[in-house]
Homo-oligomer: A and B are copies of this chain.
Amino acid sequence: MSEDRSEIGKKTFEKITGDIGRRFLENLREVAPDFADYLVEFPFGAIYSRPGFDIKTRELITLSSLATQGNANIELKAHIKLALNSGVTREQIIELFMQISVYAGFPAAVNAMLAARDVFKDLDRLE
């Protein structure tokens, strides 16, 4: 039932994205409230909560897709943080983007590396 789907979505979304997600969803609700609901319900309620992969692996899959697209900088930075939260190490994130240089080219890989650098700097500053 979609209330369940919504509930599962909200729980999964909050568990995975915490504060990052909350602020992002508020911004999105300002302009697209229904879409904000779908974003929680489908990606998180329907897909991310599926048992097929653990969250760590799902984040690797997502980072690969975003880095390949080369133009999803906001989402890429958000998912770098989510990946770190899920237990992916900084070295693994760099390792993943290095592999992207083979499959999507060096520009896409460089963009992703520089996004990772920004995220790591922000996180270091907060400590």
Contacts and interface: CB of A to CB of B under 8 A. Distances in A.
Given A62-B103, A65-B104, 14 more contacts: A27-B114, A27-B117, A31-B113, A31-B117, A32-B116, A34-B98, A35-B101, A42-B42, A52-B92, A52-B95, A65-B68, A68-B68, A69-B104, A101-B105
Contacts of A32: 94, 97-98, 113, 116
A35 B113 contact: yes
Interface residues of A, number: 63
Give 8 closest A-B pairs by Cβ, nearest first.
Answer: A52-B95, A64-B64, A71-B71, A72-B107, A31-B117, A65-B103, A105-B105, A2-B2
Interface of A: 1-5, 27-28, 30-32, 34-35, 38-39, 42-43, 46-48, 50, 52-53, 57-58, 60-62, 64-72, 74-75, 91-92, 94-111, 113-114, 116-117, 120
A34 to B, nearest CB: 7
Contact of A42 (B1, B34, B46, B107): B46
A113 B64 CA distance: 18
> DSSP majority for the A interface?
helix
